[in-house]
Amino acid sequence: MTNDGFILSSAPNFRDLGGHRTAQGGTVRHGLLYRSDALHTISEPDLPVYNGLGIRQLVDLRTAHERESLPDITPEGAAYTAVSVQGPTAAGGNFSEALLDRERARAMFADGAADRFMFDVYRELVTDPVALTGYRDLVERAAEGPTALVFHCSAGKDRTGWGAALLLTLLGVDRAAVVADYLASNARQENTDKWMRLLAEHSGLEWDELIPMTRVRAEYLESSFAHIDEVYGSFDGYVSDALAVSPATVAALRARMVA
């Protein structure tokens, strides 16, 4: 851990999902499951720490365009896997390209539209077929190993945020702790702010118009859970019917991740 409280200063939203208590009285084990922002940013001074975490799987949740533009630095000894959770037509898919087109950017994000855009993203993350396939893959990889595993997107807050919420909920962590873990991303967006400000300059939009896209809000995450109840009846229905994650996989995940 660095003096600034980050495991990796060059990837400020890289963090361990361990330490949470579960409803069954267990504790999520440390050092097995990490979430992160972009991993192309790892600096030379951070490499020894990054390589020393024992990571065996890196799961990249970004779109093909993001992966090709900014390829990951994979830890020594880890297998890299691309697992898309957004199709090219999804609400959040490649939104950065829209910000390069001033007319399109204004239509999509100006005058409060960025706020509506974010709620659309969070609803699609629990219903879009690409998302369902991708998050099932993430859960199965976490359950089957090898561990440790890190999963990430660009900012580590939305696609990764839902992935973390899903995994922690499956492990039996209560909603308040899941939301608290999700909101911790807000203090870790230094890298995101840099590239979002550059995009904002090209878009012609004011920074305040884009702020809803640069931070997480409890309402965003709660909208995913609410949409699950609306569409699938319950979180358990979402897991069994939409994600098609088996009870055996959930049991294996808990056996591996909870002490």
Q: Looking at the annotation, which residues are catalytic?
A: 153
Task: Give the distance between the most distant pair of CA atoms in the chain.
Answer: 53
Within 8 A by CB and 6+ apart from 192, the residues are 37, 154, 155, 157, 214
Separation of first and last alpha carbons in the chain: 23
| Residues ≥6 apart with Cβ < 8 Å to 218 | 179, 182, 183
Give the SS3 label for residue 253.
helix
Distance CA 8, CA 152 (A): 14
CA 79 to chain CA centroid, nearest Å: 19
Tracing tokens 């640069």 back to the chain, one arrives at 214
Contact (CB, 8 A) for 62 and 56: no
User: How many other CB atoms are there within 10 angstroms of residue 204's CB atom?
Assistant: 14
